[in-house]
Amino acid sequence: MKVAFLKPPVGGILGLEMLTFVEPLGPICVAACLEQDGHVCKVIDLRIDGEEKGIADCVAFDPDVVGLQCNFTTERNRTIRLAQRIKREMPKALVVIGGHDASRDPDWFRDDAIDFIAMGDGEEVMPPLVNALADGGDIRKIPGLEVRDGSGWLFTGHAPARPHLDMYPKPARHLIAQYADHYYINFRKPLALMETARGCPFKCNFCSVWKFHESTFREKSPARVVEELRDITAPNIFITDDIFWMNVKRGEAMAKEIKAAGIKKYFTVQTRTDIICKFPHLIEMWKDCGNLAIFLGLESVTDEGLKAVNKKNTADNNVRAINILKDLGVGFTPNFIVDPAWDRDDFTRLRDWIEKMGAYNSGFSILTPLPGTDLWDHDKKRVTTRRWEMYDIVHAVLPTKLPLDEFYEEYSRLWQHSLDVRYRNRGKMRTYVQLGAAVLAGKVSLKELNRGLGMARTFTKPQTFLRAHDSASS
């Protein structure tokens, strides 16, 4: 059978996804399994091609099945709209929707344009589904689906999960080769995504990753990681593991085997500060694999704030980890959760901490109860809107303690303060010279640079965020 995977076009209120523009890793992982079974696949990235050209290419491909991925709550409406258009222009094609958001809240996606909702690992659900469609098998016996039939929707049971990720074929990167030069993160381009592990054993209340994976943590072997890295031509790699170095011995083995293979990349990883504090030698080992930058979900500068989101970490670890990274010369991007219940003193405390630590790359996410999280279960009756585009973690969808305009005044000051700290620590001229060098080296286009700088300036203005509330109430 012929299967097309469509990545929905850019949307949302502020176009935040254009700041980190990454490849559709999930679809190419699923496509690899389908190709292994003899099916023909095509991946179309509508963010790059544009919707009109992308749909025309899909019509020309004439797929039997179209797969749509909805990972983020903000993508819901545009994904359903895309499914409806597919049904109009390719009425014989069966539409399957999967992804993180669809898996965690499948009932929302029960639309006439959707034939199947896939829940869980796509590699476990899509191949049996497509094989059954090709062979006339009983779809009701395939776990991990909600199936639309004449009487409503049928749930077929939970999908299995393979304990060893090495059992899956390598991602079908050839299906996105024409797009490879377009993907980037933080002005590093081109960029490839790579997964070395899935899941998370921690249970932060704002996150649904651990629920999606049912608190499991599964890994690829170091040898498999090296094998995949050899296939990636991009100099920049973003490792999608939610907690890198969770398995310390594997982290050490990966670094040794990557170095032995002579592979040098600019790796961006995500990890916890307690891991850095306990095992700083991992940082040094991975520096030998090229360059290293680390995203840190610090969440809060107080133990009380960390306890409130069930982080299972300490504020002291956050400070110690940043000092370790500074001593080792490794770049880091801290992210903090801003609670709508904050008053002005809470904002001041965070600004003072950023100043003291010189944490000039800081980002700020407004505490948002996303469907599928413990926080949603606790606070869904308190949300002020179900306009899903506002669930982008830079808009407050819970009542704020401060008047809304004052809350956003303080919130935008955090972004301005982070810029000010950057200029004081690194120098404004040095910052712009480095960005200019990145443009000349082809690591980022002038258009992308202007977009990023424009977004940074936009975030320092309260009206940027207030505007969405004005339109939602009109």
CB environment 279-290: b (16+ within 10 A), e (fewer) = ebebbebbeebb
Measure the CA–CA gap between 145 and 153, rounded to whole angstroms.
Answer: 10
Residues of the chain short of pLDDT 70, as ranges, are 15-18, 426-456, 472-474
Token readout for 357 is: 């630590």
| 206 torsion bin: left (phi>0), alpha (psi -120 to 50), beta (else) | alpha
**Residues 217, 126: one domain?**
no
Q: Is residue 73 part of a domain?
A: yes
Structural domain including 14 reads: 2-155
CB environment 168-186: b (16+ within 10 A), e (fewer) = beebbbebbeebbebbbbb
Domain holding 209: CATH number? 3.20.20.70
Q: What is the pLDDT of residue 297?
A: 96
**Residues 102, 239: one domain?**
no
**Residues 196, 302: one domain?**
yes
Residue with tokens 């409130």: 308
| 3-class DSSP state of 387 | coil
**Residues 229, 95: one domain?**
no
**Residues 419, 275: one domain?**
no
Token readout for 423 is: 């200029």
339 contacts 301 by C-beta, under 8 angstroms: no
Among residues 260, 189, 176, the alpha carbon closest in space to that of 21 is found at 189
Q: Of 334, 362, 384, which marks where a domain is finished?
A: 334
277 contacts 315 by C-beta, under 8 angstroms: no
**Residues 285, 344: one domain?**
no
**Residues 22, 138: one domain?**
yes
Q: Is residue 66 part of a domain?
A: yes
Contacts for 455 with CB less than 8 Å, ≥ 6 apart: 14, 15, 16, 19
**Residues 405, 435: one domain?**
yes
68 contacts 4 by C-beta, under 8 angstroms: no
Measure the CA–CA gap between 67 and 406, rounded to whole angstroms.
Answer: 43
Q: Dmax of the chain from CA atoms?
A: 66
Q: Is residue 175 part of a domain?
A: no
Q: What is the pLDDT of residue 186?
A: 77
In the chain, the percentage of residues whose pLDDT exceeds 90 is 81
**Residues 243, 376: one domain?**
no
Q: Is residue 308 part of a domain?
A: yes
Identify the H or E element spanning 415.
Answer: helix 404-426
**Residues 111, 140: one domain?**
yes
Domain holding 46: CATH number? 3.40.50.2300
Measure the CA–CA gap between 54 and 59, rounded to whole angstroms.
Answer: 9
Domains contained in the chain, number: 3
Q: What is the pLDDT of residue 439?
A: 64
Q: Is residue 164 part of a domain?
A: no
Degrees, nearest 5: CA angle 271-276-280: 135
Q: Is residue 170 part of a domain?
A: no
Q: Is residue 289 part of a domain?
A: yes
Q: Of 318, 334, 350, which marks where a domain is finished?
A: 334
What are the C-alpha distances in Å from 29 to residues 37, 74, 127, 165, 203?
A: 13, 23, 11, 11, 26
Terminal-to-terminal C-alpha distance of the chain = 47
**Residues 347, 470: one domain?**
yes
Q: Is residue 292 part of a domain?
A: yes
Strand order in the sheet with 236-239: 191-194, 236-239, 265-271, 290-299, 331-338, 363-366
Identify the H or E element spanning 68.
Answer: strand 65-69
Degrees, nearest 5: CA angle 111-114-119: 100
**Residues 130, 213: one domain?**
no
Q: What residues pair up with 43 in beta bridges, in sequence order?
A: 5
Q: Of 307, 334, 361, which marks where a domain is finished?
A: 334
